[in-house]
Structure 1
């Protein structure tokens, strides 16, 4: 039966390999994983690190999304008021 590794365990194994104190083969034997599996985890880890370091573009994009959400919420609020007004007009024409 295969062992399920948590994200923290995978990260520790990848970091152990990146430190270079042991060979990848030694690390893989120690943790009973294939070298192919190690390299898949390493590549995902490095891609995630790259994405995390590109925060300047992502944070401004997140701010743009937040502004758009606020704008849409205001539009929805105004439309809700119009709908309620129209309901009252249709149900109680002439303000009765």
Structure 2
């Protein structure tokens, strides 16, 4: 049994670029790089799909997630302000209790 060879993204792009040259023989290119033609075509489909997604811009799902993220960030910021205000109030009340306790104790 032969071990699978890991091919880097740069190597894949080099092979795909060879295949895009005018008059390129895909079968010969695949034979030379020791890959199957089905592998070459799978890489090509993936590359084309990636280019389509890059050109198309963010999808509706991505936009919805960005809006949700912004909403949640705003909510977290508001809650942090409430926590800070409550902490300040608690400190103020604690000081007042300590001072009134000292006065009554004297």
TM-score, normalised with respect to structure 2: 0.65
Indicate yes or no: 2:9 matched with 1:17. Answer: no
- In the TM superposition, what whole-angstrom CA distance separates every residue of 1:22-78 from its partner, at most 9, and x where no partner exists? 2111001110001111111011011111112213xx29x978866765554343223
Is contact 1:24–1:35 with CA below 8 Å preserved after alignment? yes
How many pairs does the alignment contain? 94
Structure 1: 5+ residue stretches without partners: none
| Equivalent residue number for residue 75 of structure 2 | 75
The higher radius of gyration belongs to 2
| Equivalent residue number for residue 49 of structure 2 | 47
Structure 2: 5+ residue stretches without partners: 97-106
| Equivalent residue number for residue 101 of structure 2 | none
Aligned-pair RMSD on alpha carbons? 3.0
